[in-house]
Amino acid sequence: MSVIELLSLITLLTGVWYWLDGMSAKEIATKAGSRLCKSHDVYFLDETVVQTRVRLRRNSAGHIVFYREYRFEFTSDGAYRYRGKICLLGKHVVSTEMEAYRQDVERQ
């Protein structure tokens, strides 16, 4: 196996690993968004999240891991869409945010 073939194989395997790691992180963020919306009694729209940022950061153990930010949308009354944010460090949710929203008086 030549050096170029070996580098190509390493590049391909790295790309596949990054893609699989990203899919796993997206699934974690989607579940976190769903749980967050359920706990606030609002609707998690589209049942998905969108990755908006990726960076390398150190975790509490000092290891370099991916820091990812995801956005999602939710509604409280079906009339307005609001945004939320989920941040992951590695495979752990480190923060969540939700825009201020109107509460649906009829649902209470």
The pLDDT, as a whole number, for residue 103 is 83
**How would you classify the pairing of strands 82-89 and 64-75?**
antiparallel
The pLDDT, as a whole number, for residue 106 is 63
> Which residue ranges make up each domain of the chain?
3-107
Q: What single string gives the DSSP state of each residue in the chain?
A: --HHHHHHHHHHHHHHHHHHHHHHHHHHHHHHHHHHHHHTT-EEGGG--EEEEEEEEE-TTS-EEEEEEEEEEEESSSS--EEEEEEEETTEEEEEEE------GGG-
Q: Which residues of the chain have pLDDT under 50?
A: none
How do residues 29-50 score in pLDDT, each as one tens digit?
Answer: 999 999 999 999 999 999 999 9
